Every structure is written in structure tokens, then in C-alpha cells.
């Protein structure tokens, strides 16, 4: 009789384990070229946010499949596809209900940049409104400008196209006067585009970045990733990654 009870308990426990919710075995991670948070270097995907997300996946025991693509396309796929997340993403009010959020995984300073000969003084976003501002379609920085009533925005699919569009001639067609981008890497992106001497004319804000996941992502996956991130912040692993990039 006791053996029968034990066997019954064993199979009951086994059944419970089999039907209990589990994190996804694999998660699709979509990102763009946006240094220092996420970018490719020597054909390898890296960046402070990428390293944080990789460690989160390792600790949560979830296989992460990364793919780099245009932000606009990644943004749409992350809303529609199952077990899919997008990073690094600012958690703006107009995005809150579009995704399930994990983070923050990093922080990024946004700035308005211009060519070295730009003379006008920009002390607020109101001062920037008369100028043509280059940004990336559906990027948080572009959306933030619109929320502040900035309408003279020229969008591209890839931020690396913006430096070459900068001009000092406000009458020159198909060009931009200012460029909103990451303050940490604007100079490097511009130099690679053969546009040296760009300068910061206004620091817009510092924004925390998150993992934005499809509503069709398992709740247990999100919980496991959040727990892994909390653990990283408690044991110092998160700060070590961020500090390593700040010191570069």
C-alpha cells in the first residue's frame, strides 16, 4: 500500500513538473547598430546592453538568438512575433502598452549635434524647433522630440546616414541642420561617415534603456529574465559591464 502511495506521489509530482509554466527554451533578440549600447565590431555583436542581455539569458538558462536589422522593421516584429524582444529601447509613455518590459538594462545620453560652424545657441528644445533635425524612424529620440512639439524632423532608416546630411546652409534641400543621436558615440559615427568636427550643441536628456518584448512572450520567460537582471545588479556583475564601457 505504501509503495502504491509513493508511486502515486511520484507520478503526481512528475505531472506537476511537466505542466508547470516554464521559461521559453529560446528567445529571439532583435537590435540595431546603436553604439555603445548595441553594435557590431569585427562581425561580432557587442555593446554594454548586449553584454547585459547575454548574461541575463545565461543566468535564466534561456538560449538567445540575436539578429541585427533596421530599427523600424525590428520594432514591428517585436510587437507581432512570439517569444521576441527588442533592445535597447526607451520606455516612453506611448510605447508602454505595446510591449512587456524588462529593465532597465542600460542608460544613454541623447544630444543634438551640428557641424562645427553652427553658430546658433540652443538652450532648449524650443530653440531647436525652427531647425531640420535628423533622426531614425520610430526611434525613441525621434518620438521624444514629437512629444515635445518638434515637427521639423527628417527620418532615415539608419543613423549612420545622418552625419552626411548635416549642413550649415538652411536653404539646402534634403539636408538637416541638427542631428539627434547618442552623445557617447556621435563623434565616432560622424568620423566613420567622413564628417569630422561635429559638435554637441544641446544635451537633450539621459534615458534608461529596456528590453521591450512582444506581448506574446511567455510570462515565465519575462520573470526569469527580470530575476537574472536583479541578481546581476545585486552581485555587481551589471555594474562591472557598464563601468567597462564607460572607461573605454
All cell numbers assigned to 125: 528644445
Helices (H), the chain: 2-19, 48-60, 71-80, 125-128, 140-147, 186-192, 219-235, 237-246
Domain boundaries, the chain: 25-107+208-246, 109-206
Domain 109-206 classification at class level: alpha beta
Report how far apart, in Å, the C-alpha atoms of 223 and of each of 9, 48, 57 are.
28, 22, 12
CA distance 230 to 220: 15
What are the φ/ψ torsions at residue 103 (nearest 5 degrees)?
Answer: 150, -165
Domains 25-107+208-246 and 109-206 alike in fold: yes
**All cell numbers assigned to 57:** 539569458
Q: What is the pLDDT of residue 17?
A: 43
Which homologous superfamily is 25-107+208-246 in? Periplasmic binding protein-like II (3.40.190.10)
Query: What average pLDDT is seen over the chain?
Result: 91
The overall pTM is greater than 0.75: no
Chain segment 113-157, per-residue pLDDT in tens: 999 999 999 999 999 999 999 999 999 999 999 999 999 999 999
Per-residue pLDDT tens digits for 1-30: 545 445 545 545 444 444 445 666 799 999
- Burial of 210: CB neighbours in 10 Å, binned 0-12, 13-18, 19+: buried
Half-sphere exposure of 114 (CA within 13 A, CB side): 20
User: Quick check: helix, strand or coil at residue 202?
Assistant: strand
Nearest CA to 162 among 147, 171, 144, 141?
Answer: 141
- Please report, in angstroms and rounded to a whole number, the separation of the first and last CA atoms in the chain: 68
Amino acid at each position: 500500500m505504501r509503495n502504491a502511495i509513493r508511486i502515486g506521489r511520484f507520478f503526481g509530482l512528475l505531472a506537476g513538473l511537466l505542466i508547470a509554466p516554464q521559461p521559453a527554451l529560446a528567445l529571439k533578440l532583435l537590435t540595431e547598430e546603436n553604439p555603445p549600447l548595441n553594435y557590431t565590431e569585427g562581425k561580432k555583436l557587442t555593446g554594454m546592453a548586449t553584454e547585459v542581455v547575454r548574461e541575463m539569458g545565461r543566468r535564466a538558462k534561456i538560449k538567445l538568438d540575436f539578429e541585427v536589422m533596421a530599427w523600424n522593421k525590428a520594432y514591428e516584429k517585436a510587437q507581432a512575433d512570439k517569444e521576441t524582444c527588442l533592445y535597447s529601447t526607451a520606455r516612453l509613455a506611448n510605447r508602454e502598452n505595446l510591449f512587456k518590459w524588462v529593465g532597465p538594462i542600460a542608460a544613454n545620453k541623447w544630444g543634438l549635434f551640428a557641424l562645427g560652424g553652427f553658430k546658433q545657441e540652443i538652450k532648449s528644445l524650443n530653440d531647436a524647433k525652427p531647425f531640420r533635425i535628423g533622426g531614425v524612424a520610430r526611434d525613441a529620440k525621434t518620438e521624444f522630440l514629437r512629444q515635445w512639439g518638434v515637427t521639423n524632423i527628417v527620418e532615415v532608416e539608419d543613423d549612420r546616414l545622418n552625419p552626411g546630411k548635416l549642413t550649415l546652409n538652411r536653404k539646402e534641400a534634403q539636408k538637416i541642420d541638427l542631428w539627434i543621436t547618442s552623445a557617447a558615440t556621435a563623434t565616432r559615427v560622424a568620423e566613420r561617415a567622413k564628417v569630422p568636427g561635429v559638435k554637441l550643441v544641446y544635451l537633450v536628456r539621459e534615458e534608461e534603456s529596456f528590453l521591450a518584448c512582444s506581448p506574446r512572450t511567455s510570462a515565465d520567460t519575462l520573470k526569469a529574465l527580470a530575476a537574472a537582471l536583479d541578481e546581476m545588479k545585486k552581485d555587481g556583475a551589471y555594474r562591472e559591464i557598464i563601468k567597462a564601457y564607460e572607461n573605454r
